[in-house]
Structure 1
């Protein structure tokens, strides 16, 4: 029996080709991908293509588009064995993180990929990323999907989606998962590290939770920053502070007073690290104790992309029991190291 993979094309560099008269990149009709890549017809699975009506640059992808993708996967979940989302690289980690929280009880692969060069370029990385992603999306053993989570495949590596970040705009090896090991790596064989794979509760039925709030602000702390600017911004439900190292900030009575006023105004404060690797550890240094005093929430070793989308998903979400702080601190789908 041939496995069926649904390819959802949203846009991005992977779907571009060069207009040799003007030298500019333009989107091609992704419905003709089998003509562009005839080798896809030789694969051991069936690939069905669903392109967005209007391809989007990844900078235009956001909550509205995340819901469209999640809905489309939900509507077609029983028809296909795996799902592949072609996406621009700049915000792919945001989309992968958001989908990981929105797709509940997932027991089939949802893989995102893209490319640094257009599919029509002679030196492109698009073809390998696309073909290998299809293999991973159709990988089954004993009639069970090997991958049962949202992941990103890029330049020979399969990574957990909500653990990734884009760290290079230049190299083919553009994605990193600094705080979680790879799920698999392709070479002569498609390797999977099974002990690193996520599994939801086997009793959970697949469903979607499309709740997303945009009442989140992300702010990077820097030396010499004037915190009184915080008082001039409108009230938001969640403020995510990206601070130094393992959770430090300049220590002064003014800092404590300003952050406490924000908390007293009903805003939750989440703390994540500016370091790519490692995480937040309140109390490790004296200058992190301020966050314990004001009741801030540790983002632990989450990426900024994952912390932002998780906060957006949890704010005033009626499908969760308990407080925002309790739910944010909980490992929902492998986004935090236990």
Structure 2
């Protein structure tokens, strides 16, 4: 991602959500801990030659292991970002987050903060700050320096010296210093010419109920019906290859048809690490399209999940939600 021709950040709000980066030992193992602001200030004071923007600090409540992240927490995070920019006078935000769901949160916030004229950077670490060979300060300091050099408005993911597009990447490793990678997903989706005012970052969003269902050999209508009847509004359907599923299973197709009739937005993405969905290539895919399933193109699971939360949470008309699913909103398809 280019850093050229963007104003350097002068005042950064650091939002600390918890995660491995600030964890300390407890009776039951590593757990989120307060006091990270002082530790961060101390290590920066020991590096007077390093130039970073001025920063302030806010500890989110509760501090969590990112395995406990929820869409409700995303809403509080969005409000904290808006408050930092519009009320606290900051021109950038750095979010410290656990790595397990960092890609989900960064993708979701890309859609929750549409229109925000400031950069927001997510980072974290694989080992807690202060332990041997930790990557914590490397990532915190690197993210601050990137902001100080100037980043485009919008959401970024910074890790191990690399800036990634949140709607195009995922956590692919549970070890090492470089757990995130850009996925080689299909591009070329048509861009939305204009976005509804309801998607603007200033507009509050309602909580949406979205699920993810990976297809597997032998999946039947019973598993799908359980989700349909649970009250979901949207479903990310992880299909085989470029968008195929059990198209010879009449009951399964009937369940998808019922989901469509109930107003549930079903989006097909691929289980593959590379490529994307083209529902009209194979009969097994076109039959999914025929019962109301939408194409997610090259969207990642994280991007599709976050996009549905934003579109459904904005209270848009069902037809408008379905239209925007297949258009590029913030780089998820292009």
Match of residue 239 from structure 2 = 243
Aligned length: 311
Report the Cα offset of residue 2 of structure 1.
7.8
Report the Cα offset of residue 15 of structure 1.
0.8
Match of residue 89 from structure 1 = 99
- Partners in 2 of 1:24 and 1:322 — Cα distance? 48
- Partners in 2 of 1:96 and 1:179 — Cα distance? 18
- Partners in 2 of 1:164 and 1:15 — Cα distance? 24
Match of residue 323 from structure 1 = 320
Asked if 1:259 corresponds to 2:267, the answer is no
Q: Is the 8 A contact 2:185 2:298 kept in 1?
A: no
Change (3 A) 1:153 1:180: farther
Match of residue 69 from structure 2 = 61
Asked if 1:155 corresponds to 2:160, the answer is yes
Stretch deviating more after TM superposition (33-42 or 116-125):
33-42
Stretch deviating more after TM superposition (55-64 or 313-322):
313-322
Partner secondary structure for residue 52 of structure 1: strand
Match of residue 279 from structure 2 = 282
Report the Cα offset of residue 320 of structure 1.
7.2
Q: Is the 8 A contact 2:208 2:233 kept in 1?
A: no
Q: Is the 8 A contact 2:53 2:147 kept in 1?
A: no
Of 306, 309, 323, the residue aligned with 1:309 is 306
Stretch deviating more after TM superposition (65-74 or 225-234):
225-234
Match of residue 217 from structure 1 = 211
- Partners in 1 of 2:315 and 2:325 — Cα distance? 14
Match of residue 109 from structure 2 = 99
Asked if 1:169 corresponds to 2:174, the answer is yes
Compute the TM-score of the two structures, normalised by the length of structure 1: 0.83
Asked if 1:132 corresponds to 2:132, the answer is no
Match of residue 70 from structure 1 = 78
Report the Cα offset of residue 322 of structure 1.
5.2
Report the Cα offset of residue 98 of structure 1.
1.5
Structure 1 gap segments, 5+ residues each: 141-145, 182-199
Q: Is the 8 A contact 1:103 1:209 kept in 2?
A: no
Partner secondary structure for residue 251 of structure 1: coil
Asked if 1:34 corresponds to 2:31, the answer is no
Partner secondary structure for residue 5 of structure 1: strand
- Partners in 2 of 1:244 and 1:39 — Cα distance? 52
Partner secondary structure for residue 290 of structure 2: helix
Partner secondary structure for residue 104 of structure 1: coil
Partner secondary structure for residue 281 of structure 1: coil
Stretch deviating more after TM superposition (212-221 or 254-263):
254-263
Stretch deviating more after TM superposition (235-244 or 3-12):
235-244
Of 129, 149, 159, the residue aligned with 1:119 is 129
- Partners in 2 of 1:11 and 1:2 — Cα distance? 24
Q: Deviations over 1:13-39 (max 9, x none)?
A: 1112457xx794352511212124434
Report the Cα offset of residue 47 of structure 1.
1.7
